[in-house]
Amino acid sequence: MPELHDLLIVGGGPAGAAAALRARQLGLDVVILDKHTFPRARACTGWIGPHGVALSGECGLTARKAGATEFSAITLHSWDFKRRAQIKDPSFRGWLVDRSAFDHALLKCAQKAGAVARLATDCTGLRLGETSASVLTGSAGEFAARVVFVADGSGSEIMRISGVTGVAATSAHAALVDCESAVSESGIEVVLGARRVTHLATLVRIGKTARVSLLTRDASAPAAEQLGELIAGGRGALRLGDALGKIIGAPSVAGAALDIESHVGKRTLLIGDAGGFVSAFSHEGVYPAMKSGWIAAQVAARALQAPLLQDELAGFGAAWRVELAEYLRMPNTDLSLLAPLVFSNAQMSKRVAAAFLLGQGF
């Protein structure tokens, strides 16, 4: 029989690492299983806002440790690039990050707190029993725990096996490409679509490289094609050079957490991308991934002390909605109607920036 741990976490990204760190703070015995070695390449937008910075601090992660560049301003563009607004505010302080470095630094924080990380370990199955759950691996045998967190992404096989409904298909699609930057500086810029469906591009510039990403619910053309057209028309306004690779397009789980019937299975919780914890508006997923893991660890710690573990785990749904629902949902105002005001009214510009960076309503 394998050693029985308090908590097994499948996936060592931001959700899994933050969950492990919080669980260790609460005195739990934690093992992380991940098929990758770290650092690992990640094709993500590359920024976190004020909430993410604050939670990173609670994890013991500083900008220096994360290799992050700080920002406290954001530039908004209209989709046709005829209008522009820059908003500076101390409350908007965030980080521009290389996700490979950030994820590795956060995992090291979890390990420093006492979590055991078994990397390059491919998880192949999950057995759910009455008193424990077991994760099967291809190379390291079987691991058992009283609770398992599924944190290895929206396409997780472990999630399917767990019996939880999981992330459903959404209408959102994303695309991303790295470009040369025509200027050597750092910052974040957002291009706002004026359509009734989500249509928003984000540019994260660090030095001489700019990562441009698109989140769209416009099904008239593939997301990669839409992003290519945007860059072609806005290369000058966005101060971009040549693309450094092909545009990558993929479905998105933006906002999907809000539509999942339950994140709770038998002795299991879904967190991070596996649970659809990505903002429906900004497409930012690091903070909600970390926060979902943080909350899940607190729920699991209570469950392990409760007479009925499963009943206590069921409280995860209410717990995360209290703290994350506003950040995850779309603003309750039609941006297409507000677009003319965004670039002529400083207060409206700031409200849109706050919606993007802080998850606040317009």
Burial label, 332 (beta-carbon count in 10 A; 0-12, 13-18, 19+): exposed
pLDDT band (50, 70, 90) for residue 302: very high
Are the beta carbons of 191 and 201 closer than 8 angstroms?
A: yes
**Which tens digits make up the pLDDT trace of 31-70?**
999 998 999 887 777 999 999 999 999 999 999 999 999 9
Please compute the mean of the pLDDT values over residues 107-116 and round it to a whole number: 98
Please compute the mean of the pLDDT values over residues 88-101 and round it to a whole number: 94
pLDDT band (50, 70, 90) for residue 334: confident
Which is more confidently placed, 294 or 361? 294
**Which tens digits make up the pLDDT trace of 216-248?**
999 889 999 999 999 999 999 999 999 999 999
Please compute the mean of the pLDDT values over residues 100-118 and round it to a whole number: 97
The chain-wide mean pLDDT, for the chain, equals: 92
Q: How far is CA 256 from CA 91, 260, 268, in A?
A: 27, 7, 19
- Give the global pTM: 0.94
Alpha-helix runs per DSSP H in 41-196: 50-58, 63-66, 99-112, 157-162
In the numeric block, the tokens 């995850």 are attached to 328
Question: What's the CA gap between 102 and 121, in Å, rounded?
Answer: 21
pLDDT > 80? residue 336: no
Residue-level pLDDT at 275: 93
Domain coordinates in residue numbering, the chain: 4-46+98-169+254-328, 71-94+171-252+332-358
Instruction: Return the bridge partners of 270, or none.
Output: 150
Nearest alpha-carbon partner for 202 in 59, 75, 346, 341: 75
pLDDT band (50, 70, 90) for residue 108: very high
pLDDT band (50, 70, 90) for residue 161: low
Return the CATH superfamily for domain 4-46+98-169+254-328: FAD/NAD(P)-binding domain (3.50.50.60)
Residue-level pLDDT at 163: 62
Please compute the mean of the pLDDT values over residues 324-334 and round it to a whole number: 89
Instruction: Return the bridge partners of 200, or none.
Output: 192, 215
Within 8 A by CB and 6+ apart from 361, the residues are 326, 331, 332, 333, 355
Residue-level pLDDT at 169: 57
CATH of 71-94+171-252+332-358, one of 3.30.9.10, 3.30.70.980, 2.30.30.40, 3.30.2270.10: 3.30.9.10
Residue-level pLDDT at 166: 61
Residue-level pLDDT at 293: 99
Question: What's the CA gap between 311 and 198, in Å, rounded?
Answer: 37
**Which tens digits make up the pLDDT trace of 146-160?**
999 999 987 777 776
pLDDT band (50, 70, 90) for residue 27: very high
Domain 4-46+98-169+254-328 and domain 71-94+171-252+332-358 have a common topology? no
In the numeric block, the tokens 């993007």 are attached to 356
pLDDT > 70? residue 165: no
Percent with pLDDT over 90 in the chain: 77
